[in-house]
Amino acid sequence: MTPLHHKLLRDIRAQRAQFIAVIVTIFLGVTLFAASYDSYQNLAASYESTFTEFRFANVTMSGGDVAGFADVARQEPGVDSVELRTVGDVPLQMGGLKLLGRVVGMPPDAQPSVNQVRIADGSYLAASDTDTALAEEHMADHFKLAPGSTFEVLGPTGWQTMAVGGVASSPEYIWPARNRQELLTSPDNFAVVFVPERLAQVIVGTDGPNEAIVYYIDGVEDEALTDLLLAEAASRGATVSFARDDQPSNAALSEDLKGFEELALFFPMLFLAAAGMATYVMIGRLVHAQRPQIGVLLANGFTRRQVLSHYLGYGVIPGLIGAIPGAVAGVVLARVITGFYTEMLSVPSTLIRFYPATLLAGVAFGLVASILAAIGPALLASRIAPAEAMRGSAPAGRGRPSIVERIVPSLRRLPVPWRMALRGIERNPRRTLFTVLGVVLSLTLVLVSWGMLDTIVNLMDKQFVQIQQEDATVYFAGPVGTDDVLALQEVPGIAAAESVLQTPVVLVGDDRYESILTTFDSGTAMHRFFGDDGRERPLPDDGLLLGGAMKGILGVSAGDSVQLSVSGYATEARVAGFIDEPLGTAAYASRTYVETVVGATLPATSALIRYDEGAVVDEVRAGLVEMDGVAAFEDANALYDTAQKYMIFFYLFVGVMLLFGGAMAFALIFSAMSVNIAERTREVATLLAVGTERHQISRMITAENMMVALFGIPLGLGFGYLAAKQAMASFESDLFAFDLYIRPSTLVVSALAILVVALLSQWPGLRAIGHLDIAKIVKERSL
């Protein structure tokens, strides 16, 4: 080994605490990158494999002239297959539980050419089956259904008992969404069954198929063909039509994947930036402390290139030691994450692959971050003038009061230790700046993770507590009048009931948007509406309230008119305003306004109810489902619980980020504080030599460091808030509105935690003050 190699190893051993902190930060950053990015690639590959293997539809049309649309679609180049089927939402009954389910028609004896299913248990449908169905996997898991189990379905002739012939998973219901505006559904409130096509028509009560699905050659997307087919569907009176990207389940999964991809880069970049800063501070301190040694090296024949390479080694070694195991750990962790995620969602096809590029990129990111951090100090070391460096450095000019003392002259009368602490902050701007940056980055790492958790908790509270005021929803077997709704209040335990009409609509402005129009009674007490400014507003009797995302999609403002199409009937409707809701982008109107527009009295398809105080939910539900005309019951609390269940993975991911961020913050501040103390070894030795007590020096250094930390906290809170806002923006779409919300207590606790970490991270350095060899250090200074 060369002398420089020996010196490198000795320096690493001497500064092992700082090197370990840098290695830990690089390891965490690279692990996070490899785990999240490999998981993203695995999930994307699993979805694509599912879509191809089970021939997931590229275009879907519901309602209107589906047969004519199918004939046109079959003639288009690029179309592989077209299927006609019957789909309808009808009441199901599992034991004594009524719910609004979905029946999907399938050809017997052979899988359809579009939207096939995977049989997880049992067997596929046979032509001889007249009372057999396939239970969708989420439904089967929740209700413990297996081949041979039974349930009931409500058709035109009444309740019919069906046998479960098999359990199936489908690319259409990986995420079990009822529609784009109702992405979150509870298994107690929404279930899917697949039945023979002829039986589906009987149950739904149609004379023929009501839905057409189209699959392109090899499933490859073709934007021009999709636009053509969607235009054809609209011209043939489609109630709903959408491309694969807008299919409810796929749209939800795509948003999830998009956020996953962005976070897979966003978080690691924050971590590696922190690692780079810690490396820069550590090597910068070494170069500053070793100026005389560098001068000796250069004066004795070592080239500037050798010195440059030597100090770059201080970045390369921790970069490799942290990045290589970090990349391996991330790749392994990605397999666990992918398996957990696909199992939770019942993805029909799960692919877990090894991506060498991720492994190499992870190592490269960690190495590049540390090398970039080392370049500045290494270049500085290689350009030092030998004679000047060997003479050492002496401060120029005379001492003067700090800026704070000059602004507040009375502070000049403080005790000497306090004035030394104030002047120490200004005396070494580089050291102060690094400590402040350490605090800022640490707070940013913590706030991004914690802010995401606060936002999700606030989103759940806003949607299910502040906006939705009902305790449950009752669905009727068919349209009913006001008297049927009022009759619900006679059930013991129900305090109030309001009629609701929900129907699919198409809104047309500069563009078109398919949504759900929900009609409430004027002055409804079951649903609250909040404007863009956060203020509550009443449901108007002179127009529609639209989800905020429609403002940009349709290109309309309050007071404008939009075309409203319902089941082929089109009319003009006024936009009264826009509302802010976390989930979905729906349209709302009062019953009075819609009846005025259409010129007819509206029925109700469901009712929102509120319980008496102390009511027993199971008893209320039992009383309701026994009533004639009541098809299904949806408990609001069950929906909230389901939302929390599907957020488990998000909570887990962000929780890991918070844990990593906390570890990174400690390593970062520890590195900055340790260097801060280590740089002052000679200064401390001099103070000790003139008789200053060790505990007094410790208090002075602690006071200086804590004042610097206090200065960095407001900056850290500001940068952390902006970074958290950017992270949440990665999930924004018309399906979700993740407006950042951070509780004041989170800001306070984060700031206090950083102060505690700053205080604790000084302990090793302050402890070392008690073991300083004063004579040795003063002698080294004199040389």
Rounded CA-CA distance 66/210 in Å is: 6
On whether both 64 and 38 belong to a single domain, the answer is: no
Rounded CA-CA distance 386/395 in Å is: 19
Residue 87 scores a pLDDT above 60? yes
Strand-pairing partners, residue 513, are 507
User: Ranked by mean pLDDT, which of 124-133, 444-453, 724-733 comes out on top?
Assistant: 124-133
Inter-residue contact 50 to 349 (CB < 8 Å): yes
Query: Which residue segment(s) compose the domain that 387 sits in?
Result: 1-56+261-395
The domain boundary residue, chosen from 352, 376, 395: 395
On whether both 666 and 741 belong to a single domain, the answer is: yes
Backbone angles phi, psi at 477, to 5 degrees: -65, -25
Residue 27 one-letter amino acid? F
Q: What is the CATH classification number for the domain harbouring 217? A: 3.30.70.100
Rounded CA-CA distance 487/499 in Å is: 11
On whether both 446 and 322 belong to a single domain, the answer is: no
Rounded CA-CA distance 233/506 in Å is: 13
The pLDDT of 49-66, averaged and rounded, is 93
Q: Kindly state the tokens that stand for 63.
A: 């309602």
| pLDDT at 766 (0 to 100) | 66
**Which is it for strands 158-169 and 132-136: parallel, antiparallel or unpaired?**
parallel
Residue 153 scores a pLDDT above 60? yes
Q: What confidence tens digit (pLDDT) does each residue in 397-419 have?
A: 455 666 666 666 766 666 656 66
Helix (H) or strand (E) holding 624: helix 617-625
On whether both 72 and 162 belong to a single domain, the answer is: no
Rounded CA-CA distance 563/570 in Å is: 7
Q: What is the DSSP letter of 627?
A: S
Q: What is the DSSP letter of 122?
A: E
Spell out the residues 6+ positions from residue 168 whose beta carbon is closer than 8 angstroms to its own.
Answer: 117, 118, 119, 120, 134, 135, 136, 137, 194
Rounded CA-CA distance 347/47 in Å is: 8
Rounded CA-CA distance 169/346 in Å is: 7
Domain contains 738: yes
Domain contains 629: no
Domain contains 139: yes
| pLDDT at 649 (0 to 100) | 63
The domain boundary residue, chosen from 582, 602, 622: 602
For the chain, what is the domain count? 5
Q: Per-residue DSSP letters for 265-307? A: HHHHHHHHHHHHHHHHHHHHHHHHHTHHHHHHHHHTT--HHHH
Q: CA 45 from chain center: how many Å?
A: 20
Domain contains 253: no
How deeply is 294 buried, as exposed, middle or buried, from its count of CB atoms within 10 A (0-12, 13-18, 19+)? buried
Residue of 65, 87, 59 whose CA lies nearest to 246:
59
Inter-residue contact 348 to 170 (CB < 8 Å): yes
Rounded CA-CA distance 111/126 in Å is: 10
| pLDDT at 185 (0 to 100) | 79
The SS3 assignment for 480 reads: strand
At 776, the pLDDT band (50, 70, 90 cuts) reads low
Rounded CA-CA distance 33/345 in Å is: 23
On whether both 643 and 770 belong to a single domain, the answer is: yes
Q: What confidence tens digit (pLDDT) does each residue in 573-591 have?
A: 899 999 988 887 889 999 8
On whether both 642 and 765 belong to a single domain, the answer is: yes
| pLDDT at 676 (0 to 100) | 64
| pLDDT at 200 (0 to 100) | 94
Rounded CA-CA distance 71/360 in Å is: 51
- Torsion sign (Cα): 707, 711, 712, 714: positive
How deeply is 400 buried, as exposed, middle or buried, from its count of CB atoms within 10 A (0-12, 13-18, 19+)? exposed
On whether both 645 and 780 belong to a single domain, the answer is: yes
Domain contains 314: yes
Q: What confidence tens digit (pLDDT) does each residue in 168-185 have?
A: 999 999 888 888 877 777
Domain contains 718: yes
Rounded CA-CA distance 750/714 in Å is: 11
On whether both 79 and 224 belong to a single domain, the answer is: yes
Entry pTM: 0.73
Neighbours of 743 (CB within 10 A): 15
Q: Per-residue DSSP letters for 175-214? A: S--SBTTB----TTT--EEEEEHHHHHHHHT-SS--EEEE
On whether both 125 and 214 belong to a single domain, the answer is: no
Spell out the residues 6+ positions from residue 186 whose beta carbon is closer than 8 angstroms to its own.
Answer: 634, 635, 638, 639, 641, 642
On whether both 389 and 299 belong to a single domain, the answer is: yes
On whether both 643 and 780 belong to a single domain, the answer is: yes
Domain contains 595: yes
CA angle 427, 431, 434 (to 5 degrees): 140
Residue 394 scores a pLDDT above 60? no
The pLDDT of 184-191, averaged and rounded, is 81
Domain contains 352: yes
On whether both 212 and 71 belong to a single domain, the answer is: yes
Rounded CA-CA distance 191/178 in Å is: 9
